[in-house]
Amino acid sequence: MAALLSVNHLSISFGGLRAVDDFNVEIEKGALYGLIGPNGAGKTTVFNLLTGVYKPDEGRIFLGDRNITGLSTVEINQAGIARTFQNIRLFKDMSVLDNVKVGLHNRYPYSTLAGILKLPVYFKTEKEMDEKALELLKVFELDGESETLSKNLPYGKQRKLEIARALATDPKLLLLDEPAAGMNPNETGELMDTIRFVRDHFDMTILLIEHDMKLVAGICEALTVLNFGSVLCQGQTSEVLKNPEVIKAYLGD
Amino acid sequence: MMKMTKQTRRDLITYGIVIVFYIVMQLLDLAGILSFHVKGLLVPLCYYAIAAVALNLVVGILGDLSLGHAGFMCIGAFSSSLFSVTLKDSGFPAGLRFFLALLIGTFFAALFGFLIGIPVLRLNGDYLAIVTLAFGEIIKNILAAVYFGYDEEGLHIAFKSFPLQGEGKMLINGAMGIQGTPTDSTFTIAVVILLLALFIVQNIVRSRTGRAIMSIRDNRIAAEAVGIQITKYKMTAFTISAAIAGTAGVLFSHNTTTLTATSTYFGYNVSILILVYVVLGGIGNIRGSVIATAILYILPEMLRGLSNYRMLIYAIVLIIIMLINWAPAAITFREKYGISAYLARRKENRTPVSDMGSGKGGS
């Protein structure tokens, strides 16, 4: 079976700096895959390349059989990649429910005119969207706060809402950029359960960037370690974490 | 479905306020209390309110600062006046003529909004504000300089005066503008159009399109990442806003017989005046725009008796409203002791304890 995501020889330079150099990865459907590395290793740049924020200088990205290299962010989202952000990016002056409904935008279409005139299709579609959004919020135990402005949610719940919003676009692959950043050990433990649950419940493939080694060791089945933009080591989590090269990159000589 | 009803109720209250204001004004008029001067303020009040609602769609909902909306009013005013003046003496029914004039003014403002939007919406923040300001001034200055007329040899357009050959008419006479627009605007029509503008903007905000527009305002990068087509929705908001401002322009030009593209009516100071209404009414608060326009438009007119102190008092009122609306301390005070907090407390006190637990199920 072909991998869900295959990335071949991906490279990008900013000025003279080769931020990502010959990055390769194959992720099977249903995998929980980790991308780790010291600060500045180019992890988030890889995410930005995968989601079309940056166009790669070299290399190709396949989602299933489809070549998505060079597509726009919107097209890539519609092809089936959704993401969260390292520094949370919610629609902060919109309600929790509306945040998810923006995620549902492309799956429940009706015209602007139908919205202005409040045609029957408006009420029908909005009702379906409300139901779908609440169903998603329920999974993350946010349904009780659907009316709250998202900026007023506590930090941990904001992280969850961002995942819920990403899932609303019905992706095949979910990219999580440091989901545990700023969380205490309790919250991180809860987050690990949530991520596992998302994978099983939605039959999702997940690629995540993380610094929290407890989380990485706890839930990722396989890892790629980046250092200075290139792949240092790739393989099963337990083996990668024992690799002396990796330990050296993290802890120094 | 509690949310739907709550939002719908909010929208209905807005329409209600406008309708009540309309009825009160009509009753005062019947009772003979309204002076000629005050009656003359009612239509301008409506078109400024319409322009404020339109601008709020761009500033409050889309989150982009436009300082060129007087330009769109100008296009709406001139295109519709041109149409009305041409048809005035042809025996065309006045009602239908004005209806068509409204459509034409709206259409041309929308067209220019769309065309100007293509380059302008690529910019952000201050840059966008400055470029829209420039476009507004360009529109006003071109319309103040253009000569447009017809004679036996056909249509003529030029940037300097020209003689007409035989039978003909100068439609736009340079800085003298358009003379003899029929005064079709009435308070009733203006209120109907204000309600229509509110209906359009409020329904957009509650729709899928509105959510897409607001998501761009709140976080453009995240909006793109969940598949929102940024350009499409920015253009939609900007074009609709320009169109509505154009309709306000039609009301303006059909309220007086002489239409000139001067700074007093269409300069950037007018754009800023409308922006003041939007900001003081609350950015993104559609109802607030209407109320702020009513207060701030009527106030200086009411203070005419104080002559020299008029603008001083106006300025002080501006500052006070601004503080009440936006100062952090005032916001905290409002949240604690304001009307909605009072109502919420009362509701809580009235609700029997046994109902509290099941409260969530009903929502």
Tell me the DSSP string of B214-226: HHHHH-HHHHHHT
Query: What is the per-residue pLDDT across B145-195, written as a single tens digit (0 to 9) for each?
Result: 999 988 888 888 888 888 888 788 888 888 899 998 999 999 999 999 999
B61 assigned to some structural domain? yes
Is some CB atom of chain A closer than 8 A to the CB atom of B228? yes
Strand partners, A20: A12
Q: Kind of pairing, strands A58-63 and A66-67?
A: antiparallel
Is some CB atom of chain B closer than 8 A to the CB atom of A91? yes
**pLDDT in the model for residue B361:** 37
| pLDDT greater at residue B75 or residue B319 | B75
Q: Is the dihedral of CA B255, B257, B259, B264 positive or negative?
A: negative
Q: Identify whether the C-beta of residue B28 lies closer than 8 Å to the C-beta of residue B38.
A: no
**pLDDT in the model for residue B1:** 44
B226 assigned to some structural domain? yes
Instruction: List chain A pLDDT tens, one digit each, 253 residues.
Output: 578 999 999 999 998 889 999 999 999 999 999 999 888 889 999 999 999 999 999 999 999 999 999 999 999 999 999 999 999 999 999 999 999 999 999 999 999 999 999 999 999 999 999 999 999 999 999 999 999 999 999 988 999 999 999 999 999 999 999 999 888 888 899 899 999 999 999 999 999 999 888 899 999 999 999 998 899 989 999 888 888 888 888 776 6
Structure-token match 């078109």, residue found: B47
Q: In the numeric block, which tokens belong to residue A207?
A: 């690629």
Question: Contact B208/A91, CB-based, under 8 Å?
Answer: no
Distance in angstroms (rounded) separating the CA atoms of residues B350 and B363: 18
Cross-chain CB nearest to A144 (options B204, B212, B360): B360
Least trusted range by pLDDT, from A237-251, B121-135, B217-231:
A237-251
B259 assigned to some structural domain? yes
Q: Mean pLDDT, to the nearest integer, of B285-304?
A: 88
Least trusted range by pLDDT, from A124-128, B211-215, B280-284:
B280-284
Q: Identify whether the C-beta of residue A140 lies closer than 8 Å to the C-beta of residue A194.
A: yes
Contacts of A108 in chain B (CB under 8 A): 208
Least trusted range by pLDDT, from B3-12, B33-42, B239-248, B349-358:
B349-358
DSSP classification of residue A94: S
Query: What is the per-residue pLDDT across B302-329, written as a single tens digit (0 to 9) for each?
Result: 787 777 787 788 888 888 887 877 777 7
Residue B244: pLDDT over 90: yes
Q: How many residues does chain A have?
A: 253
B348 assigned to some structural domain? no
Cross-chain CB nearest to B219 (options A82, A91, A125): A91
B291 assigned to some structural domain? yes
Query: What is the per-residue pLDDT across B326-348, written as a single tens digit (0 to 9) for each?
Result: 777 777 887 777 777 777 777 66
% helix, strand, coil for chain B, step of 5:
75, 5, 20
Question: Contact A166/B226, CB-based, under 8 Å?
Answer: yes
Question: Contact A105/B212, CB-based, under 8 Å?
Answer: yes
Q: What is the mean pLDDT of chain B?
A: 88
CB atoms within 10 A of CB B44: 19
Distance in angstroms (rounded) separating the CA atoms of residues B289 and B282: 7
CB atoms within 10 A of CB B156: 17
CB neighbour class for B190 (10 Å; exposed up to 12, middle 13-18, buried from 19): buried
B241 assigned to some structural domain? yes
Contacts of B284 in chain A (CB under 8 A): 93
B269 assigned to some structural domain? yes
Q: Which residues of A82-93 are buried (b: 16+ CB within 10 A; e: fewer)?
A: bbbbeebbbbbb
**pLDDT in the model for residue A16:** 86
Task: Give B115's contacts (C-beta < 8 A, 6+ positions apart).
Answer: none
Q: Give how far Cα A37 sits from Cα of A178, A205, A229, B130, B228, Å.
A: 12, 21, 9, 44, 31
Residue B25: pLDDT over 80: yes
* Structural element, H or E, at residue A252: none
Q: In the numeric block, which tokens belong to residue B173?
A: 């006479």
Selection from A19, A18, A27, A23 nearest residue A8 by Cα: A23
Question: Contact A105/B360, CB-based, under 8 Å?
Answer: no
Question: Contact A82/B226, CB-based, under 8 Å?
Answer: yes
Looking at the structure of chain B, the number of domains it has is 1
Residue B83: pLDDT over 70: yes
Segments forming the whole domain that contains residue B281: 2-308
**pLDDT in the model for residue B362:** 36
Reported in sequence order, the residue ranges of chain A that DSSP labels E, i.e. its strands, are: 5-14, 17-27, 32-36, 58-63, 66-67, 81-83, 173-177, 205-209, 222-227, 230-236
Nearest CA distance, B327 vs chain A (angstrom)? 18
Question: Contact A93/B218, CB-based, under 8 Å?
Answer: yes
